[in-house]
Amino acid sequence: MIIKPMIRNNICLNSHPTGCFAVVKRQIELAKKELRPVEGTPKLVLVVGCSTGYGLASRIAAGFGYGAATVGISLEKPASETKPGTPGYYNNSAFDREAAAAGLQSVSLDGDAFSNEMKDRTVEAIKKVAAAAKIEAKIDLVIYSLASPVRTDPKTGIMHRSVIKPIGKSYSGKTIDMMTGTISTASAESATDEEIANTVKVMGGEDWELWIEALSKAGVLSSKVKTAAYTYLGPELSWPIYKNGTIGRAKEDLERAGKAINAKLSASGGAAWVSVNKALVTRASAVIPIIPFYVSCLFKEMKEKGIHEGCIEQIIRLYRDRLYAAATTSDPKKVPVDSEGRIRIDDWEMREDVQKDTLARMGKVTEENIFELSDIAGFKHDFLEAHGFDVPGVDYDADVRSL
Ligand SMILES: NC(=O)c1ccc[n+]([C@@H]2O[C@H](COP(=O)([O-])OP(=O)(O)OC[C@H]3O[C@@H](n4cnc5c(N)ncnc54)[C@H](O)[C@@H]3O)[C@@H](O)[C@H]2O)c1
């Protein structure tokens, strides 16, 4: 089968197995180059939402950078006779294959992370992986990196759906079609109270708390476990739709959960953080109004200034310069945080000169000059790459025999 990308409205409907494998391999090489296991770096790591974007990079950096045994949870669709599987399906299999070749223990579980059943399966997988790695079955890092449109509450059985909407008044912002460079206006009506509550249910911190509780009850958490979940703040122009909108409410709840988890874990020397990450092109971020337009201009600035990063570079910095900066003392107080206690690896994105120049650039971009003045080409490349397309060195005219 010859596989070409099928894209509708900034959503890619298929993926390329060979390309996904190549992208995972490239991230592995970078993690191996930039990170070294030392006393205090993690040996057994759980990543919830491990298959794409920030979660995949978090797993690769832990496994190949620190030599950790890893358990990864994600929700994927395998290939059918006629259609490739999801990108995460190939990324997981690339990860497991490369891990096995490198002598690293790994288990990837496919299913609903929000369910009690998956939490039970994970505990078993942790024990299995630890036994194979000949280490104690005590997780020392939990990364929570889910991005999901829906969640079924395990207590009530009710399925909640998240929305990306402003709160209090409607919102209109420029958006771009990354394939054509067409600029249009995307509008969203103000969310109802029910929509806000549902989004908090899906993308808030309740499930992160349930994960830590389940792992703690099962006795598979190290007393000094570290856990982190990811958030985004972004520039003021995106606040009506992001930080002050439904998703921002959910992220406020994630911060609440982070503090609650931290209070519980810190009694034994563990700690929890919310890390504010940079805006990147992942499958989740391409469909948020204004974000593709902003990101295209931001990337141009950050590349020109020599400070551009992708998921893996961000996570390498999160581990090396934040979470494990003080690995030898493993004193959680040594992790650099902002006044709210959050880790900031969006620091380069939010630098005053980067923001000022990005906003000025956004004011100048038109459909006529968009390919010159913005990095829409880079945005499109990253988006395609997240699905295994447009990866250097991959022959896209070659027949893909096994899906
Ligand atoms: N992309 C950005 O620009 C950005 C910036 C800052 C913070 N973040 C945050 O980082 C986190 C990860 O986002 P991303 O952009 O990497 O997303 P992504 O879509 O690339 O990855 C989401 C992961 O969650 C998994 N998943 C979704 N629903 C699941 C379910 N029910 N059960 C099991 N697994 C499930 C997917 O399989 C995938 O592994 C989110 O909290 C997001 O808000 C993203």
Mutate to test the pocket of ligand 1, among 15, 146, 162, 302 (most ligand atoms within 8 A of CB): 146
Q: Which among 90, 230, 242, 294 is annotated as catalytic?
A: 242
* Ligand 1 in reach of 379 Cβ (< 6 A): no
So what's the pLDDT on residue 331? Answer: 58
So what's the pLDDT on residue 59? Answer: 98
What is the CA(335)–ligand 1 centre distance, in A? 24
Block means of pLDDT (10 residues each) for the chain, 403 residues, are 88 93 98 95 98 97 98 95 92 98 98 98 98 98 97 98 95 87 91 98 98 98 97 95 96 98 96 97 78 94 98 97 76 81 98 98 95 95 95 94 71
* Ligand 1 in reach of 147 Cβ (< 6 A): yes
Give the integer Cα–Cα distance in Å for 86 and 89. Answer: 5
234 in Cβ contact with 285 (< 8 Å) = no
CA atoms within 13 A on the CB side of 266: 12
Q: Name which residue sits closest to atom 18 of ligand 1, judged by CA.
A: 53
State pTM to two decimals.
0.97
Mutate to test the pocket of ligand 1, among 10, 11, 27, 74 (most ligand atoms within 8 A of CB): 74
Active site residue 230: no
So what's the pLDDT on residue 286? Answer: 75
Q: Exposed, middle or buried by CB within 10 Å (0-12, 13-18, 19+), for 2? A: exposed
- Residue 272 — φ and ψ, nearest 5°? -130, 145
* Ligand 1 in reach of 294 Cβ (< 6 A): no
* Ligand 1 in reach of 230 Cβ (< 6 A): yes
Q: What is the 3-state secondary structure (H, E, C) of the chain?
A: CCCCCCEECCEECCCCHHHHHHHHHHHHHHHHHHCCCCCCCCCEEEEECCCCHHHHHHHHHHHHHHCCEEEEEECCCCCCCCCCCCHHHHHHHHHHHHHHHCCCCEEEEECCCCCHHHHHHHHHHHHHHHHHHCCCCCEEEEEECCCCCEEECCCCCCEEECCCCCCCCCEEEEEECCCCCCEEEEEECCCCHHHHHHHHHHHCCHHHHHHHHHHHHCCCEEEEEEEEEEECCCCHHHCCCCCCCHHHHHHHHHHHHHHHHHHHHHCCCCEEEEEECCCCCCCCHHHCCCHHHHHHHHHHHHHHCCCCCCHHHHHHHHHHHHHCCCCCCCCHHHCCCCCCCCEECCCCCCCHHHHHHHHHHHHHCCCCCHHHHCCHHHHHHHHHHCCCCCCCCCCCCCCCCCC
The position carrying tokens 């504010």 is: 276
* Ligand 1 in reach of 270 Cβ (< 6 A): no
- Residue 184 — φ and ψ, nearest 5°? -140, 175
CA 163, 168, 170, 173 dihedral sign is negative
381 in Cβ contact with 268 (< 8 Å) = no
What is the CA(52)–ligand 1 centre distance, in A? 7
